[in-house]
C-alpha cells in the first residue's frame, strides 16, 4: 500500500513524472513491458500493439488500451498508466490519426478477415474436380 510522508506527498514505486511525460496518444505503436510473478520469480513480458484509446487524462486512474493480433486473433489489454506491474512503456511509432478513440479498427480487422475467407472460398470453387472414371484415349 502507498505510504504518506509528512509533506502530504504520496510515495509510489512508480516514477509518476516519467509516466506523465510519456504523452501516449491513440495511434501510437507501443511496447509495454509487464512484470509477471511465477513461482517466486519475476520475469518481464512484452505486449506490443496499437494504442486504441487513452482515458482519464493524467489523473491517478488513467488507463490506455492496446490492441494486437496474436495468432490471427485480436487481443486487447487495458493497462493502468501508473501501475507498478508495468516496468516500462516504449513508444515505437507515432501515427497521425483523426480520432481520439480508434475502436473502429476492430470492425476493420473483422472485415479484412472475412474478405480473405471469401477469397479462399472463391479460389476453391474455380478449380474443377477431375472425374476419377475418365479415361484418356490414345489417338
Residue whose entry in the numeric block shows the C-alpha cell 486487447: 76
Per-residue confidence (pLDDT) for residue 64, from 0 to 100: 93
CATH number of 16-126: 2.30.30.790
One DSSP character per residue, 64-99 reads: EEEEEEETTEEEEEEEETT-TTEEEEEEEE----S-
Confidence of residue 126 (pLDDT cuts 50, 70, 90): low
What spatial distance separates the first Cα and last Cα of the chain, rounded to whole Å? Answer: 91
> Is the pLDDT reported for residue 136 higher than 80?
no
> How high is the pLDDT of residue 16?
80
Question: Which candidate, 12, 18, 36, 38, places its Cα nearest to that of 90?
Answer: 18
Q: What is the pLDDT of residue 10?
A: 64
**What is residue 98's predicted lDDT score, i.e. its pLDDT?**
92
Percent of the residues in the chain that have a pLDDT greater than 90, as a whole number? 35
Contact present, 51 and 30 (Cβ < 8 Å) = yes
More confidently predicted of 9 and 134: 9
pLDDT one-digit tens code per residue, 67-124: 998 888 889 999 998 888 999 899 999 989 898 998 988 888 888 878 888 887 777 7
Report the pLDDT value the prediction gives residue 54, as an integer from 0 to 100.
92
Q: Residue 135 pLDDT more than 60?
A: no
pLDDT of amino acid 133: 58
Q: Is the CB of residue 56 less than 8 Å from the CB of residue 65?
A: no
Amino acid at each position: 500500500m502507498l505510504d504518506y510522508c509528512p509533506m502530504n506527498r504520496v510515495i509510489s514505486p512508480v516514477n509518476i513524472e516519467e509516466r506523465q511525460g510519456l504523452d501516449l496518444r491513440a495511434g501510437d505503436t507501443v511496447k509495454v513491458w509487464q512484470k509477471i510473478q511465477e513461482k517466486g520469480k519475476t520475469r518481464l513480458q512484452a505486449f506490443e500493439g496499437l494504442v486504441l484509446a487513452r482515458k482519464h487524462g493524467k489523473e491517478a486512474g488513467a488507463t490506455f488500451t492496446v490492441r494486437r493480433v496474436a495468432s490471427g486473433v485480436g487481443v486487447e489489454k487495458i493497462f493502468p498508466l501508473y501501475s507498478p506491474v508495468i516496468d516500462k512503456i516504449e513508444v515505437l511509432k507515432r501515427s497521425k490519426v483523426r480520432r481520439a478513440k480508434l475502436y473502429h479498427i476492430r470492425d476493420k480487422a473483422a472485415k479484412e478477415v472475412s474478405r480473405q475467407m471469401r477469397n479462399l472460398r472463391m479460389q476453391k470453387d474455380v478449380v474443377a474436380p477431375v472425374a476419377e472414371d475418365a479415361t484418356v484415349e490414345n489417338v
